[in-house]
Structure 1
């Protein structure tokens, strides 16, 4: 692990505003696809729960091919935009794909549409998200701003997507994907002309252009803490995603008409993302106080409470209440994981660790549980499936609470280097 005492100091905040808008554009696509893809596949594609689960499983499974490669490439490319631009350009074709290709492929074979859709969307979303996230995180280190403050753009995108996409879907279902195409065009222009990095301060983000070799990359697999973090993500964050995949179908069962359920769902997700947006402001300060590791553990237990609470809710009002907890979960997770990886691992391997522990391991779990959950929904129902998910999240989080190592607070950016030295001196005196 890089010596925290050698960690370079951030320079004055510079080149900030392009990044929140890039986050907005990308996560508008993310929120729209994950918020309404299941509903679209049910109403337009006429897929059942098992077939929809297969699509999500393929998205997760195929992304397992992308995650390790994208992680290593990101660490090698550092601030070069070759990979991130490729992802944004491919995203432009979301509208044409769902308008003209998905249904014809479905008529040929359900397995074929799952493979093609899984490859396409996993390249942009499941695989591409780590590229976007680590690029902005490194830019935040070089430019001297908090990553979470840029990620506010992603939270704002969730608010807009839940309000706009719900109405677009009711008007014309295919239009939600053309909105994604428009967002991808904006993202591409932002990456080309707006997102700038203070390259003179690039060392703050781990200048790996000459020092990163294959031996260094493979050494990460020998780190016990990497596997513990991966297990935590497989049991907490992955179940979080699987739980949300077909949640809108479960939510609609509380209403007399599908349209009414879709509209209330839109308002509910808007409220969730408003909470998320607001909490992104103070969350870096909160995590600096409690520590990134503790933030991850709190996130895991909150996820357990939300899943079990939804399963046991007697009315849609209670479901809404537990859903709003997600507004606290995401700022906790996003801020904690970025600081934790920076503080607990070699900063040169930041993207590799993020891709492997936070995304690769997570997608293995999503790949397995998406199909299993889809089948369980059809066999034992949503409530019983959610209870099983909640118990699993609780067990994994409890395991992580006792085994996940604490991060270096200086390297994680939780405290300044000078204060860290003062604490060490005081501890040695005691």
Structure 2
């Protein structure tokens, strides 16, 4: 009983950590494009260049952050650095972005790319793997902590849309406030049950560069990376300028922005509700199958949006994302734990789920930005949907089955165990 109370006590800070970080994520990715269009006066190609730089610069951060996270394990040096830098989001967009834009569009893309990719594209893997490892040590489901991120999406969509209509720059100051909260909880609240730390992989002394380099020889790493490059990356590229596409269905930009706010609130509400049963669902169907289901749902959503005759249908297909994210987030965390060496958890997560993804985002952001200007949103979305379908079909045949015990899908003493040979 005492142990249960201790684990419960060591759980509640992590959902708030997720909340504060993903409030920043949802606000920036939900409204940065709109801010750059209306305040920065960037066109589709220039906005795409900013997102491409964010993805491109993160290609440097991702592998470094992965290895450093595996070495640090539960030490908070890196994660605190990211949270402190995030405090300066408000000052950057208030006082630095537009002066840099007046100097040179390429310069603002580079500086913004470095700044935001450190916090978001690079930093997300640090946050995610830290909480995932904490869930193993403290014996709670990662998805239940990630509910905090879903709540953040709801709050961000409700608050940020209104803040933007009131004063566009205020959305970034809200991010700075969230970063202060994040820093406070990392310092004073998030506790690890160190008696169970070995469950998350005690790598601080045993991990060496030879072991790290060996991960590149694993065929399944490359299959997972290709899946992320073709499915999850295009998911992000699709969402980057989606608000601009959505506003074309309305007579005024303000009306479109307001409906967009309600729509994203509904999406994240679905995501929030599904986060609770999703660990149980993934434990039943397997994390590999969860990833494949995510890929096909993403394909349906993109193609459906491209062919939608009215904004009502666009809203319907957008709400599917409320199912996609719980599927992806729960599946990938369990899959990496069950299909790879746990000592290399952060490295694999950074390389396959983020590094490879950002390569794709880096390429597709600029390409998609140009295609939006040349052939329009609908035709561009059709191309994206076809790419996602082909890549997901490939992964359905090539992705290795995970070890259900190591993935936490079944108990170690369960009779329903199909051990998977490690590569």
TM-score of the pair, normalised by structure 1: 0.95
Across the aligned residues of Structure 1 and Structure 2, the Cα RMSD in angstroms comes to 1.0
In structure 1, what is the equivalent of residue 3 of structure 2?
none
Q: Which aligned pairs between 1:26-425 and structure 2 lie closer than 5 A?
A: 26-420=21-415, 423=417
Q: CA deviation at 1:210?
A: 1.2
CA distance in 2, matches of 1:367, 1:93: 24
Distance verdict in 2 for CA 1:273–1:252, change over 3 Å: same
Q: Deviations over 1:350-407 (max 9, x none)?
A: 0000000000000000000000000000000000000000000000000000000000
Offset at residue 200 of structure 1 (A)? 1.3
The CA distance in 2 between the partners of 1:408 and 1:200, in whole Å, is 24
How many pairs were matched up? 414
- In the alignment, the residues of structure 2 paired with residue 199 and residue 86 of structure 1 have an alpha-carbon distance, to the nearest angstrom, of 23
Q: Distance in 2 between matches of 1:271 and 1:423?
A: 38
Cα distance, 1:14 vs structure 2? 4.6
Report if aligned partners of 2:405, 2:417 keep a CA contact under 8 Å in 1.
no
- CA drift of 1:47 comes to 0.1
Cα deviations across residues 148-207 of structure 1 (Å, max 9, x unaligned)? 000000000000000000000000000000000000000000000000000111000000
Contact 1:14–1:143 (Cα < 8 Å) also in 2:
no
5+ unaligned residues in a row in structure 2: which ranges? Answer: 1-5
Deviations 1:61-104 (A, max 9, x none): 00000000000000000000000000000000000000000000
Checking the alignment, whether the CA contact within 8 Å between 1:14 and 1:144 is kept in structure 2 is: no
**CA distance in 2: counterparts of 1:250 and 1:202, whole angstroms:** 47
Distance 1:116 1:424, change over 3 A: closer
Distance 2:199 2:107 in 1: 45
Tell me the distance in 1 between the aligned counterparts of 2:149 and 2:227. Answer: 24
Matches within 5 A, 1:2-13: 13=8
Shift of the alpha carbon at 1:12?
A: 5.1
Q: Distance in 1 between matches of 2:52 and 2:355?
A: 13
The answer to whether the 8 Å contact 1:310/1:318 transfers is yes
Q: Residues 404 and 417 of structure 2 are in contact (CA less than 8 Å); yes or no, is this contact kept in structure 1?
A: no
- Give the SS at the match of 2:36: helix
CA drift at 1:209:
1.1
Quote the Cα distance in structure 1 between the aligned partners of 2:311 and 2:201: 48
Paired residue secondary structure (1:212): coil
Distance 1:50 1:190 in 2: 38
Q: For the structure 1 residues 12 and 179, does the alpha-carbon distance in structure 2 shift closer, same or farther, using more than 3 Å as the test?
A: closer
- Deviations along 1:305-358, one digit per CA (max 9) or x if unpaired, are 000000000000000000000000000000000000000000000000000000
Is the 2:94–2:169 Cα contact (8 Å) retained in structure 1?
yes
Question: Matched residues in 1 for 2:229 and 2:48: separation?
Answer: 17
Q: 1:428: which partner in 2?
A: none
- Residues 14 and 198 in structure 1, CA contact (< 8 A), matched pair in contact too: no
Q: Separation in 1 of the partners of 2:229 and 2:373? A: 23
Structure 1, residues 255-307: CA drift from partner, whole Å, max 9, x if none? Answer: 00000000000000000000000000000000000000000000000000000
TM-score under structure 2 length normalisation: 0.97
- Which residue number corresponds to residue 3 of structure 1? none
